[in-house]
Amino acid sequence: MESLNEYMEHQYQLVKHSRKKLFDYCSTFVTEDFVKPISFFGNGGSVRSLLVIPTKLGSYVVAWH
Query: What type of residue sits at position 58?
Result: G
3-state helix, strand, coil in the chain (%, to 5): 75, 0, 25
Residues 6-61 have pLDDT tens digits of 888 888 888 889 889 988 998 999 999 989 998 887 777 888 888 876 666 666 56
For residue 54, give its domain range.
4-64
Our count of domains for the chain comes to: 1
Q: Is 28 helix (H, G, I), strand (E, B) or coil?
A: coil
Q: Is the pLDDT of residue 65 over 60?
A: no
pTM of the model: 0.61
Kindly indicate the confidence band of residue 64, based on its pLDDT and cuts at 50, 70 and 90: low
Q: What is the pLDDT of residue 61?
A: 61
